[in-house]
Amino acid sequence: MAGIAQKLASNQKQVAISEFFEKNKHFLGFDSLARSLITAVKEAVDNALDACEEARILPTIRIQITKLDSKKDIIKLVVEDNGPGIPQKSIEKVFGQLLFGSRFHAIRQSRGQQGIGITGVVMYCQLTTGRTTHVRSKIATEPTAAFVDIGLDTRKNKATKSNAGREIWYNEDGTGKEHGTEVTAQMKAKYQKGRQSVWQYLRMTSIVNPHAEIIFIDPEGEKHHWTRVTERLPTKVESIKPHPHGIELGQLQRMVAESKDLNLNHFLLNNFSGVTNRARKELCQAAELEGTRKIKSVKGDDIRALLEAFQGERLFNASPVKLLKPPTNCLSPIEELLIKKGLSKTIDSRFVTTLTRVPNVTQGNPFQVEVGLIFGGGMPGDKPVEILRFANRVPLMYQQGGCLLTKAIESVDWRQYGLDQAGGKGVPKGPAAILVHLASTNVQFTSEAKEALADNAEVMEEARKAMLEMGRGLRKHLEKKKKMAKTKEKFELINDILPAIAEKSAQILKRPVPELSGSITKIMSAVISESSTEWNKETKQIDVEIVLFNYTTRVRAYTLLATWPEKSGAVMENNDTGGRKEALGVWAWKLESLQPGGKTTISFSLSGLERGDWTETEVLFRGSQDVIGATKMDEKFLEEIRRQEQILTESGIASPEDEAEQDKTITEPTEQKTEVVEEKVEPAVAPPDGQRTLFGGDV
């Protein structure tokens, strides 16, 4: 399915812009006054984030919305960033030309797969208020900022510019701004609060862009500030060539037509990912085409044959041609720790679990699913959980019910994990928010409105698996919380209530206060572990303390184990009790003789982490008598850790050049392909001239 972009590009000239806008405003995100404002903010913020990411700048974005005329719903929007800025001669192109820039052509994960970009906002402003959009931008190498008013000539479908000039750009504090861009637009729009609002959009954006600082001043003058929680920019993504499994006829025709390759062999090797020299030969044979054929002579049925070979419909040696998986370095997941930080800063809660699945491939497109769950805190317990959906770091705010990501959440029986859910189906209820992020080079939406993800079995399966794993984490947390509450009660009993009973009864009877140790042992009759994991502001470390009490009448011996974030690069310090490494992220201490009524304290600090990175230490034990507050060590759990550790070290060595190795490993998904995939074939390139809208539909 070709995006709006291609269709727009090919048909641009036929339709007047105002007509185009009127006909397609629901696709473009301008169908209601409230949504228009969100779309405008979204386009500007996306541009800012993309520009900063490309220039490796930590973004600071300031958004201000002012009501100019409440009766006529005229709103002023100002979005300012600290991005690299736009050279003067390019401003006009960026803001006044449809589809400027390269992001529509490269195959990689990018934000700008939605809408028609900032130009759409300029158009909308022009059409609803007749006003031009004021742009000011400064690049670091020039001393002054360029400014210009951009409008659109609706008859000529061309950008107009006026009042261009240069000035010194001062910050609020009087210092000179180094670089950045500021857009000031006036439009007919409505500011709303709630689930579908500018506020919610920015909040969600801040969750998945933890490296960004976002400041929003709403029409009432209230300042909302989402701070930057990491200095780490998203990994720079590589663009990749299309994979034969993900190609459609129209696209292949276009590629052939535009090819400057000498012959078919070169064409196959130069323009696709996953095609090795062996695969190249086999594809040619399967398609019954000579590899040495001049590319100019490849036409019509030849292209169709090639596509069939790509898709495994034409066979080589009675089986589909085996292709390498596309590389996955074109994806930029947010990653577990950063999702955790993003969620924690916007929602106050005690428990957050996040999970980034390993990349997978569907129809030749690499994708990766990430999920996060935040539980408890001030969230209401009797309402459906909040669902936060994202595609390539862009918040999806509409059509929640029809979205694949929502369906993945609904397909899980959350009751077993401690959330309410009528009949084990649908959106669960409880004090929680669930985040799902799909990173992909080709996000498939249900419609051009691009608000809900289309069904896809592989993506669904990945998302479901991630949910289940996260659910298990939640259940564990809740069980632990229950246990801890019980233990806490027991301690309150022996530390506070029992001494008070002894004292008060002695006082009433006028007798001496009795000794308590006998009663305490009888009341507890258990070995109890208490642990705390606290951020130490002064040392910038996380202090962990584990105390083991023996409230039994006998001497006890245990091996105590604790989990710690070794994988995340934490360093264990001040571990005076010694012990040894049991496995990756598991430390063990042998406690030989714990006297009746006695206690042992283990403490250590973790450095190399930030606040909130590690909030819960799991305490495990080996030994015959149960320990309240700790989990008996399941040796299978250790095995699993060791296995993961092995995979991790192995994957570190593996190199992408090692073709022969990888060739063997990808046979399976290739075979599945032929059965499952049935792609719609689109008409070749652009339709001939005629009365068509920019989207190819009849007028």
Partner 1 sequence: MSRMRTPEETKEAMHEVVAEMYDRIVKGEPPTMTLPVRTKNNIGFDKKLGVYKYGKKQSIRDATSLGSAKQLLRALHVVEFIEEMLDAGKSSTLREMYYIAEAWGMGKFGSQNDSNNLAEDLEIVTKCLREDFKLRPEEDGARMIGNLTLRERNRRGEWMRINARDDVGDSGYGVPYNVELEKIELLEHDIDFIMAIETGGMFDRLIENGFDEDYRCGLLHLKGQPARSTRRIMKRMSEEWDLPVVVFLDGDPWSFRIFASIAYGAIKTAHISEYLATPSATYLGITADDILAYDLPSDDLSKKDIEALNAELTDPRFADSWWQEQINMMLELGKKAEQQSLAKYGLDFVTETYLPEKLAELGLA
Interaction of residue 654 with partner 1, rule CB under 8 A: no
- Name which of 262, 251, 250 is nearest 296 in CA terms: 262
Q: What is the DSSP letter of 274?
A: S
Interaction of residue 500 with partner 1, rule CB under 8 A: yes
Q: How far is the CB of 499 from partner 1 (least distance, A)?
A: 10
Q: How far is the CB of 526 from partner 1 (least distance, A)?
A: 11
178, 313, 348, 492: which one binds partner 1 (CB under 8 A) = 492
Rounded CA separation 555/306 (Å): 77
Closer by beta carbon to partner 1, 233 or else 501? 501
192, 251, 329, 519: which one binds partner 1 (CB under 8 A) = 519
Positive or negative: CA dihedral 622, 628, 629, 632: positive
22, 489, 634, 659: which one binds partner 1 (CB under 8 A) = 489
13, 155, 260, 511: which one binds partner 1 (CB under 8 A) = 511
Q: How far is the CB of 539 from partner 1 (least distance, A)?
A: 35
**Number of residues located near partner 1, criterion CB under 8 A:** 26
DSSP 162-218: EEEEEE--B-TTSPBP-SEEEEEEEEE-----SSSSHHHHHHHHHHH-TT-EEEEE-
Closer by beta carbon to partner 1, 628 or else 666? 628
> Which H or E run contains 504?
helix 498-509
DSSP 450-464: --SBPP-HHHHHHHH
Closer by beta carbon to partner 1, 505 or else 665? 505
Rounded CA separation 307/312 (Å): 9
Rounded CA separation 306/289 (Å): 8
CB-based contacts of 72: which residues, under 8 Å, 6+ apart? 188
**Of 52-60, 379-387, 513-521, 542-550, which part binds partner 1 (CB under 8 A)?**
513-521
| Radius of gyration for the alpha carbons in the chain, expressed in angstroms and rounded | 31
318, 508, 653, 660: which one binds partner 1 (CB under 8 A) = 508
Interaction of residue 227 with partner 1, rule CB under 8 A: no
Rounded CA separation 462/408 (Å): 9
Interaction of residue 552 with partner 1, rule CB under 8 A: no
Both tokens assigned to 507: 């006082």
Interaction of residue 502 with partner 1, rule CB under 8 A: yes
Q: What is the DSSP letter of 687?
A: P
Q: What is the DSSP letter of 424?
A: G
106, 217, 523, 547: which one binds partner 1 (CB under 8 A) = 523
140, 358, 457, 497: which one binds partner 1 (CB under 8 A) = 497
| Cβ-contact 410, 363 below 8 angstroms | no
Interaction of residue 514 with partner 1, rule CB under 8 A: yes
504, 540, 554, 632: which one binds partner 1 (CB under 8 A) = 504
**Of 365-373, 521-529, 589-597, 672-680, which part binds partner 1 (CB under 8 A)?**
521-529
Task: Please name the amino acid found at residue 191.
Answer: Y
**Of 200-208, 232-240, 363-371, 517-525, which part binds partner 1 (CB under 8 A)?**
517-525
Closer by beta carbon to partner 1, 495 or else 646? 495
Task: Please name the amino acid found at residue 493.
Answer: L
Interaction of residue 493 with partner 1, rule CB under 8 A: yes
Q: How far is the CB of 481 from partner 1 (least distance, A)?
A: 17
**Of 417-425, 454-462, 520-528, 593-601, which part binds partner 1 (CB under 8 A)?**
520-528
Both tokens assigned to 439: 């990173």
144, 416, 505, 672: which one binds partner 1 (CB under 8 A) = 505
Interaction of residue 517 with partner 1, rule CB under 8 A: yes
Interaction of residue 628 with partner 1, rule CB under 8 A: no
165, 381, 518, 656: which one binds partner 1 (CB under 8 A) = 518
496, 573, 634, 661: which one binds partner 1 (CB under 8 A) = 496
CA distances from 299 to 241, 289, 308 (A): 22, 11, 14
Interaction of residue 516 with partner 1, rule CB under 8 A: yes
Rounded CA separation 169/138 (Å): 8
Closer by beta carbon to partner 1, 391 or else 528? 528
Closer by beta carbon to partner 1, 509 or else 660? 509
**Of 220-228, 457-465, 492-500, 541-549, which part binds partner 1 (CB under 8 A)?**
492-500
**Cα 258-261-262 angle, rounded to 5 deg:** 135
End-to-end CA distance of the chain: 21
| Cβ-contact 225, 215 below 8 angstroms | yes
| Cβ-contact 205, 52 below 8 angstroms | no
522, 540, 590, 632: which one binds partner 1 (CB under 8 A) = 522
Q: Which of residues 660-679 bind partner 1 (CB under 8 A)?
A: none
358, 422, 506, 676: which one binds partner 1 (CB under 8 A) = 506
| Cβ-contact 565, 613 below 8 angstroms | yes
Backbone angles phi, psi at 106, to 5 degrees: -75, 145
Q: How far is the CB of 547 from partner 1 (least distance, A)?
A: 20
Closer by beta carbon to partner 1, 380 or else 518? 518
Q: Give the CB-side neighbour count of residue 120, counting CA atoms within 13 A.
A: 30
Task: Please name the amino acid found at residue 396.
Answer: L
* Interface residues toward partner 1, by CB under 8 A: 489-490, 492-493, 496-498, 500-502, 504-509, 511, 514-519, 521-523
